[in-house]
């Protein structure tokens, strides 16, 4: 194996399609907790966590041990052919811990998009209705249904249509951009007047904190409003917790921040700490709507990934990662708030737990400043700090550090972030 990043890039460009976009120009060699090293030996602090996948850090020893133990037993049987106890035990744990004071059942799949697709299938089977309503700025995957639900065209939908029908979009509350909870809820009533009879809507799907859309938290009155509308019209409410789940927001599930529950919840990403596993948990009667054979997948609920998920839940509990998410998230927000005077482009710092965003607007015009966000990301990368940009306008930096990050590494990262922000301002002077 080569130890040259430039050689690997040339091989990548020749062997893989450009549609698989790659952010970094270096190639990973190894990783440990919140740090990773490339093939040339350079070190980076990881504030991306595989897009919120390794909330429990890279290669947590307990997770590695759980996978090794399962490797000594079997790697695959296809759960639908020969089942295994660990799948059932994990479903029991999720049923017990997912929000909602009702009987639940859980099915496991492989990817977040697959979980979303199956949640829509289940909702349609349970209601006998075709329609689904999603929100502008939402991200729900790259499959055809996932793209149809996603409320962002570039780059996810470009050239890939037509998309499945009976999917509609409404505005998501974003006070910074003038969209209130009342605006968003009224738009749903408008949809019922102009586009689809509510009696034909199977589900409304939303993210408790929009991920790719810009880390906008759903206001509590908005979530209550969705629940009220769903109850009034016999519509199921789906919470897409693919990115928000497993301690990221300071709760195991982000819906625990609200006083109402979703009927169905999708999960993936950090459920298995880097192993491919996703799931849908929901009301038992709703989950049973699909006929035998209607749900599943060859790799769905892979035993290695299930073993990892058991370890993840134990790590979250034993290392008090929900509490740590709040502690570290508050420190990051406080640091960013102190920098607003020196960084006039920094318009808003937001987010629950450790799901934090910094949004940049051009001073004076207050227009989204994607160029500045990109500059901060690049300056941070030059210093060895990985950051992700998101948002409909590409003007938001999202922070997704592992919740297990060591204190000295976290402090170092905050220092590098401050340097990158100030340097980006200086570059404009």
pLDDT digits (tens, 9 = 90+) for 262-273: 999 999 999 999
Task: Give 3-state DSSP helix, strand, coil % of the chain, rounded to 5.
Answer: 40, 20, 40
Q: Which long-range contacts (CB under 8 A, 24 or more apart) does 334-342 make?
A: 335/414, 335/417, 335/418, 339/418, 339/421, 339/422, 342/421, 342/422, 342/425
pLDDT digits (tens, 9 = 90+) for 181-196: 999 999 999 999 999 9
**Close Cβ partners of 415 (under 8 Å, ≥ 6 residues apart):** none
Q: Indicate the residue among 264, 286, 318 that finishes a domain.
A: 318
Do 174 and 279 lie in a common domain?
yes
Return the CA Rg of the chain.
21
User: Residue 429: pLDDT band by 50, 70, 90 thresholds?
Assistant: low
Name which of 70, 62, 103, 104 is nearest 86 in CA terms. 70
**What domain range is 14 assigned to?**
5-56+320-426
Supply the CATH number for residue 347's domain: 3.90.1150.10
Do 188 and 275 lie in a common domain?
yes
pLDDT digits (tens, 9 = 90+) for 28-45: 999 999 999 999 999 999
Say if residue 2's pLDDT is above 80.
no
> What pLDDT shows up at residue 325?
98
Say if residue 428's pLDDT is above 90.
no
Please tell me the distance from the alpha carbon of residue 171 to that of residue 183, in angstroms, as a whole number. 8
| Highest mean pLDDT out of 157-161, 251-255, 423-427 | 251-255
Do 269 and 122 lie in a common domain?
yes
Specify the DSSP class assigned to residue 210. Answer: -
User: Residue 202: pLDDT band by 50, 70, 90 thresholds?
Assistant: very high
Do 129 and 119 lie in a common domain?
yes
The proportion of the chain whose per-residue pLDDT surpasses 70, expressed as a percent, equals: 100
Average pLDDT over residues 398-405: 98
**The two three-digit tokens of residue 7, written as one number:** 């050689």
Do 87 and 213 lie in a common domain?
yes
Do 146 and 248 lie in a common domain?
yes
Do 149 and 285 lie in a common domain?
yes
Do 123 and 226 lie in a common domain?
yes
Burial of residue 341 (CB within 10 Å: 0-12, 13-18, 19+) is exposed
**Close Cβ partners of 248 (under 8 Å, ≥ 6 residues apart):** 52, 55, 254, 270, 325, 353, 354, 355, 400, 403
Do 103 and 130 lie in a common domain?
yes
pTM value? 0.97
How far apart, in Å, are the Cα atoms of 50 and each of 277, 308, 375, 387? 14, 16, 21, 11
Q: How many domains does the chain have?
A: 2
Do 306 and 336 lie in a common domain?
no
Mean of all residue pLDDT scores within the chain? 97
Do 163 and 268 lie in a common domain?
yes
CA 283 to chain CA centroid, Å, is 22
Do 147 and 215 lie in a common domain?
yes
pLDDT digits (tens, 9 = 90+) for 271-324: 999 999 999 999 999 999 999 999 999 999 999 999 999 999 999 999 999 999
């Amino acid at each position: 194996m080569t130890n040259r990043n430039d050689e690997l890039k040339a091989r990548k460009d020749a062997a893989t399609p450009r549609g698989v976009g790659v952010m970094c120009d270096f190639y990973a060699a190894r990783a440990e907790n919140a740090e990773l090293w490339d093939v040339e030996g350079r070190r980076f602090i990881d504030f991306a966590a595989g897009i919120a996948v390794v909330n429990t850090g890279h290669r947590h020893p307990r997770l590695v041990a759980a996978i090794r133990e399962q490797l000594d037993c079997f790697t695959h049987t296809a759960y639908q052919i020969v089942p295994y106890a660990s799948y059932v035990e994990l479903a029991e744990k999720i049923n017990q811990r997912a929000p909602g004071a009702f009987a639940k059942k859980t099915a496991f799949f492989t990817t977040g998009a697959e979980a979303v697709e199956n949640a829509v299938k289940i909702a349609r089977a349970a209601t006998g209705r075709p329609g689904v309503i999603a929100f502008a700025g939402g991200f729900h995957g790259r499959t055809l249904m996932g793209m149809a639900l996603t409320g962002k065209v570039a780059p996810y939908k470009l050239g890939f249509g037509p998309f499945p029908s009976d999917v509609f979009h409404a505005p998501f509350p974003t006070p910074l951009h003038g969209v209130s909870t009342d605006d968003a809820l009224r738009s749903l009533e408008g949809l019922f007047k102009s586009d689809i009879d509510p009696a034909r809507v199977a589900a409304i799907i939303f993210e408790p904190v929009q991920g790719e859309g810009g880390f906008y938290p759903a206001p509590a009155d908005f979530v209550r409003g969705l629940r009220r509308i769903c109850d009034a019209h016999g519509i199921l409410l789906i919470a897409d917790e693919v990115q928000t789940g497993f301690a990221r927001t300071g709760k195991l599930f982000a819906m625990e921040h609200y006083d109402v529950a979703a009927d169905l919840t999708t999960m993936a990403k950090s459920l298995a700490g880097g192993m491919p596993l996703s799931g849908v948990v929901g009301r038992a009667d709703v989950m049973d709507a699909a006929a035998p054979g209607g749900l599943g997948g060859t790799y769905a609920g892979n035993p290695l990934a299930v073993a990892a998920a058991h370890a993840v839940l134990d790590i979250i509990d034993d290392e008090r990662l929900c509490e740590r998410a709040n502690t570290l998230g508050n420190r990051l927000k406080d640091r960013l708030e102190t920098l607003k005077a020196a960084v006039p482009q920094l318009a808003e710092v937001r987010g629950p737990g450790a799901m934090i965003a910094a949004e940049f607007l051009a001073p004076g015009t207050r227009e989204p400043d994607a160029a500045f966000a990109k500059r901060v990301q690049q300056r941070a990368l030059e210093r060895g700090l990985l950051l992700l940009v998101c948002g409909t306008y590409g003007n938001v930096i999202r922070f997704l550090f592992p919740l297990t990050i060591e204190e000295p590494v976290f402090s170092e990262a905050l220092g590098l972030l401050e340097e990158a922000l100030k340097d980006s301002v200086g570059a404009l002077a």
